[in-house]
């Protein structure tokens, strides 16, 4: 799972592109059941994400519900980009 091998990010330090994880038991990473991509705050200050709410659903941009939030990670942190 990406959250286990990429740098963890505090919720207060989220950046666009960070991965967000939800779990049935937030203390147990083995119960992670959902992943979304953080999009930042909208004009009203609401945190937004892109995800598919369930298998077979169309990908959506929607407000984040923090219930069950288990943590986040930054998948590209530390990677060198060459031009």
**Residue of higher predicted confidence among 7 and 47:** 47
Contacts of 75 (CB under 8 A, 6+ apart): 2, 6, 17, 18, 19
Give per-residue pLDDT as tens, 41-72: 999 999 999 999 899 999 999 999 999 999 99
The total of other beta-carbon atoms located within 10 Å of residue 70's CB is 19
Domains defined along the chain, listed by start: 2-73 (3.90.1720.10)
What mean pLDDT is predicted for residues 14-39? 96
Chain length of the chain: 83
Eight-state DSSP code of residue 5 = H
Minimum mean pLDDT among 6-10, 13-17, 20-24, 60-64: which range? 6-10
**pLDDT greater than 70 at residue 73:** yes
């Amino acid at each position: 799972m990406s959250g286990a091998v990429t740098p963890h990010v505090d919720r207060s330090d989220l950046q666009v592109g960070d991965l967000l994880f939800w779990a049935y038991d937030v203390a147990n990473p083995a119960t992670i059941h959902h992943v979304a991509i953080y999009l930042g705050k909208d004009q009203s200050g609401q945190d937004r994400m892109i995800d598919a709410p369930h298998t077979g659903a169309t990908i959506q941009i929607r407000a984040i519900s923090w219930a069950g939030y288990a943590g986040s990670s930054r998948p590209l942190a530390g990677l060198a980009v060459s031009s």
